A and B are shown apart, each in its own frame.
Chain A
Amino acid sequence: MLILFQILFILFAGFAVFNVISRKRSGLLGQRAVFFWIFFWILGVIVVIWPNSSSILAAYLGIGRGTDLVIYISLALLFFLVFKLNVKLDSLNRDLTKIVRKDALDNNE
């Protein structure tokens, strides 16, 4: 029997995968990113439906509980994504500056 949380999570994962695919269609996501995110959500669904699966892996890695493992991985992933976003934003900022500068220099004479 699925409990309510599991149903909600599966619905959400389905929605997320749908989102990934429609982004791929409009060319906003590359092949690698698509595979990563689909894999990620499938993994999530597996762990939510069979909580023991994460415990087995956790025990293998020497971490006490399966939920801890999930939290560690999620946190690491979040930090990594935030970092990447920050770096990306900074490089966008630099590109923007270059354009603004070129415009300023070109429009003087």
Chain B
Amino acid sequence: MLVAVVPAYNEEKRIGSVIRDLFEHVDKVLVVDDASTDNTFQEARKAGAIVLKHVLNRGQGAALQTGHEYANIIGADYVIHFDGDGQFSTKDISGAMQHMQEAEVDVLLGSRFLQKKSNIPWFKAKILLPLGRIINNLFSGLKLSDAHNGFRILNRKAFNKIKINQDRMAHATEIPAQIKKYNLKYVEFPIEVKYYEYGQNMAGGFKILRDLLLGKFLR
């Protein structure tokens, strides 16, 4: 069973169509509504997804971990992390699943840079993401072409081993770190990311660095 885990915060406009597209490629769609203040919950239900609701906003990392625990309960074989804002393309899923099984790995990580498929804004492609990549390599010790990509597929072993403690965006570095720590096999896979508008900015990047540094002192 392949379960899509969709973290969502105020995505009422796009979540419905994302879920409907997902159903063509996965067995179950799980939306983790992170205390959205709009109609994300109702829209996701209407589109047929299972919806778990965080009563307080705990961040994307926290939502993914909630998704993993639910996936474990219902006995999923694979989970796929899929953004609810319509930036990913569901067309990448079947190819990714096939590649993952052929390569016999535990984790597949989407990449915007293996092939030039995405129209990434200049500042993000040339400054933010390269900086993020350096920080990721420093903290996780795993060299990735695109560490900060929310498209991932994890098999049961991987999503049960990996425990996301970074509630906010720093989970993007925490996941590779745990892949290395637990010796999980992984591959990168080229996927497309569409850009409508700007997500995270420089300030967001500094917050992530702060979370990572602080996280070093907590277990």
Task: List chain A residues, Cβ under 8 A from B215.
Answer: 90
Partner of B214, one of A86, A97, A101: A86
Instruction: Knowing A97-B62, A101-B54, A101-B62 are in contact, say whether A87-B218 is a contact too (CB < 8 A).
Output: yes
Q: Which of B52-85 contact A (CB under 8 A)?
A: 52-56, 58, 62, 65-66, 69-70, 73
A31 at the interface (CB under 8 A from B): no
CB distance from A48 to the nearest CB of B (A): 35
Q: B52, A104: Cβ atoms under 8 Å?
A: yes
Question: Total A-B pairs in contact (CB under 8 Å)?
Answer: 47
Interface size class of A (residues with CB under 8 A): 10 to 19
B92 at the interface (CB under 8 A from A): no
Beta-carbon nearest neighbor of B168 in chain A: A93
A-to-B contact residues, CB < 8 Å: 86-87, 90-91, 93-94, 96-97, 100-101, 103-105, 107-108
> When chains A and B are docked, how far (Å) is the Cα of A91 from the Cα of B218?
7
Instruction: Knowing A103-B55, A107-B53, A108-B52 are in contact, say whether A97-B167 is a contact too (CB < 8 A).
Output: yes
Instruction: Knowing A87-B217, A94-B165, A94-B167 are in contact, say whether A100-B55 is a contact too (CB < 8 A).
Output: yes
Beta-carbon nearest neighbor of B167 in chain A: A97
> When chains A and B are docked, how far (Å) is the Cα of A41 from the Cα of B50?
57
Task: List chain A residues, Cβ under 8 A from B167.
Answer: 93-94, 97
CB distance from B84 to the nearest CB of A (A): 16
Most buried by B among A90, A100, A107: A100
Task: List chain B residues, Cβ under 8 A from A94.
Answer: 165, 167, 218
Beta-carbon nearest neighbor of B61 in chain A: A97
> When chains A and B are docked, how far (Å) is the Cα of A94 from the Cα of B55?
15
Q: B58, A100: Cβ atoms under 8 Å?
A: yes
Task: List chain B residues, Cβ under 8 A from A91.
Answer: 218
Task: List chain A residues, Cβ under 8 A from B15.
Answer: none
CB distance from B96 to the nearest CB of A (A): 27
Task: List chain A residues, Cβ under 8 A from B214.
Answer: 86-87, 90
Instruction: Knowing A96-B58, A97-B58 are in contact, say whether A104-B53 is a contact too (CB < 8 A).
Output: yes
Task: List chain A residues, Cβ under 8 A from B108.
Answer: none
Q: B218, A108: Cβ atoms under 8 Å?
A: no
Q: A105, B70: Cβ atoms under 8 Å?
A: yes
6 more contacts with CB within 8 A, not counting A96-B58, A104-B32, are A87-B214, A87-B217, A94-B218, A96-B56, A101-B62, A107-B53
Per-residue CB contact flags for chain B residues 146-173 toward chain A (1 = under 8 Å, else 0) read 0000000000000000000101000000
Please provide the 9 A-B residue pairs with the shortest distance between their CB atoms, ordered closest to farther.
Answer: A104-B52, A101-B66, A97-B58, A97-B62, A100-B54, A100-B56, A90-B214, A97-B167, A100-B58
CB distance from A55 to the nearest CB of B (A): 37
CB distance from A36 to the nearest CB of B (A): 22
CB distance from A4 to the nearest CB of B (A): 42
> When chains A and B are docked, how far (Å) is the Cα of A41 from the Cα of B67?
50
CB distance from B106 to the nearest CB of A (A): 23
